[in-house]
Structure 1
Amino acid sequence: MRILVVNDDGIKAPGIKRLVQMAAGLGEVWVVAPAAQCSAMSHRITVRGDLEVKPYDFPATGVTAYSVGGTPADCVKVALGCLMTEKPDIVFSGINAGYNVGRDILYSGTIGAAMEALCWGVPAIAFSVAEEDECEVLNTYLEPVAKELISKTLPQNEIWNVNFPGCTLEEYKGILWDRIPDQNQYYRDNYKRTDRPDGSCIFSAAGLPETEAADGTDAGAVLSNYISIGTIKNMII
């Protein structure tokens, strides 16, 4: 199996290292990821200017890796269109630091990269976790969840969206399948205003996480200490 690993937190992020180490046990791994932090880029691509691509010494044995001075979707385009001589069998996107649930899915670069894979006819799985330091459930269940999803077939216009709860193994309750996106943002808008003497102002963004969500949703699952697994449809293809 040939696996392309991308993310939106940047090639140096702990989450992509964890995902690559798991993927290396499943097959041939290529990493093509942003050189810098690219959260909330959605499906943005670069249409003018240059994309700097550099070989990257990734801390995993037998992995071919490149950093790209562009967006997560750019990384998939460059990987499939320019770098890889053969298409991957699947794209792993993540592991994102922060849930990709509810309306936040619309803004996610992690999801955007997975959706770009669909444009090339390659299935994709997006992986996210509460925070980088809340990974007990992720560390235990990442590989078995990935293996199970690889064995399943989805329609060509859908990706898997997997979110791991930020609880301890003792608090963990199991997996909830077929979760639908919550209708609210998980990270609610929260802007702190600072006024300047010249009449201008600065709004500093710091999203506030929800504490409640509807039953049957992705946000509801992770808030109740379940792994949330659902699908997201690309309406274009």
Structure 2
Amino acid sequence: MSKKIFITNDDGIESDGIARLAKVAKEFGEVWIVAPESQRSAASHSITLRHPIDVHPFGDFPVKGIHAFSCSGTPGDCVRVGTLNIMPEKPDVVLAGINFGYNVASDIQYSATAGAAFEGEFQGYLSIALSEGINGCHEVTDKYLKEILKELFDKPYVPGQIWNVNFPQCLLSECKGILRDRLVSRKAFYVDRYKAVEEFANGGVSLMVDGLYSPEHEDLTDFGAILDNYVSVGVVKNLS
């Protein structure tokens, strides 16, 4: 059965990841995209309340046959205006991604990719967040993306939860397969710290985040799967 598929992301309408996702999603049905006009990473589940949200047709989208729009708001805004105002019918599924950078462990709470998926869930749709590494190697993603979408598209909508998929950035020959039912790790990729980039005469200071990369394996989790070169598939529950 052909699906009505809505897609957004937090890297912007011109990102490579959203185009690759749309190309595969198109094989399953009709695809609508409303994505931020520019980068919106780490916006979490924020929405716009104090000023209008502008939405424009995006004629330069590289995948033909897609209904694509750019949006001045956050990824959460994109899901709201896209499914409530832009699409003529409600979607069967909401996809967020493919994000440039993993969304695992404690990073999920900041992720606008996960935030957009949770907005889709809040609106009553089966919602899936998808992410990959940042080194530009897409071999594993390209191998397993269609298989995983086909599997998850058949899942029922469950209030309060999204599906979260992360593809390792290793070569396909190094990937060990798919691990499902991964738990969300309590660890973090980076140990938080800030560095001073400017000190002001009044005693103030300008600070820039400067986290220390510190991967720490944890069994049965999304973080552990990625570090071991597995595709990680699991559920994330909204605890709010």
Q: TM-score, normalised by structure 2?
A: 0.94
Cα offset, 1:135, TM superposition: 1.4
Q: CA deviation at 1:200?
A: 3.0
Retained in 1: the 8 A contact 2:190–2:215? Answer: no
Unaligned runs of 5+ in 1: none
Shift of 1:140: 1.0
Q: Is the 8 A contact 1:182 1:213 kept in 2?
A: no
Structure 2, gaps ≥5 residues long: none
Q: Deviations over 1:64-123 (max 9, x none)?
A: 011110000000110111111110100110011111011110000000100001111111
Which of 213, 222, 230 is the equivalent residue of 2:234? 230
Structure 2 residue 80 is the aligned partner of structure 1 residue 70: no
Kept after mapping to 2: 8 A contact 1:167/1:225: yes
User: How far apart are the structure 1 equivalents of 2:91 and 2:24?
Assistant: 16
Task: Select 2:175's aligned residue among 168, 172, 176.
Answer: 172
Given that 1:126 and 1:159 are in contact with CA atoms closer than 8 Å, whether structure 2 keeps it comes out as yes
Q: For 1:19 and 1:132, locate their aligned partners in 2 and report how far apart those are by CA, in whole Å.
A: 18
Number of residues of Structure 1 aligned to a counterpart in Structure 2: 236
RMSD: 1.4
Q: Distance in 2 between matches of 1:91 and 1:105?
A: 17
Tell me the alpha carbon deviations over residues 7-34 of structure 1, each in whole angstroms, 9 at most, x when there is no partner: 0111111111111111111110000001
Conservation of the 8 A alpha-carbon contact between 2:117 and 2:162? yes
2:199 to 196, 200, 205: 196
CA shift at 1:187, angstroms?
Answer: 3.2
What residue identity is the alignment partner of 1:43? H
C-alpha distance in 2 between matches for 1:209 and 1:140: 28
Kindly provide the amino acid, as one letter, of the partner of residue 46 in structure 1.
Answer: T
TM-score, reference length from structure 1: 0.95
Give the match for residue 81 of structure 1.
84
Q: Kindly tell me: are residues 132 and 62 of structure 1, through their superposed partners in 2, closer, same or farther at Cα, counting changes over 3 Å?
A: farther
The reply on whether 1:19 has 2:21 as its aligned counterpart is yes
Is the counterpart of residue 42 in structure 1 residue 18 in structure 2? no
Following superposition of structure 1 onto structure 2, how do residues 1-237 of structure 1 map, counting pairs within 5 Å?
1-57=3-59, 58-131=61-134, 133-196=136-199, 198=201, 199-236=203-240
CA shift for structure 1 position 191:
2.3
Assess, with a 3 A threshold, how the Cα gap between structure 1 residues 45 and 197 changes in structure 2: closer, same or farther: closer
Deviation at 1:208, TM superposition (A): 3.6
Distance 1:113 1:25 in 2: 22
User: Would you say the 8 A contact 1:15–1:96 is kept in 2?
Assistant: yes
CA shift, 1:197, in A, is 5.3
Q: Structure 1's 197 and 40: CA in aligned 2 closer, same or farther, altered over 3 A? A: closer
State the shift of 1:132 in Å.
Answer: 5.6
For the 8 Å contact 1:3–1:30, the answer to whether it is kept is: yes
Runs of 4+ in 1 over 6 A off after TM superposition: none
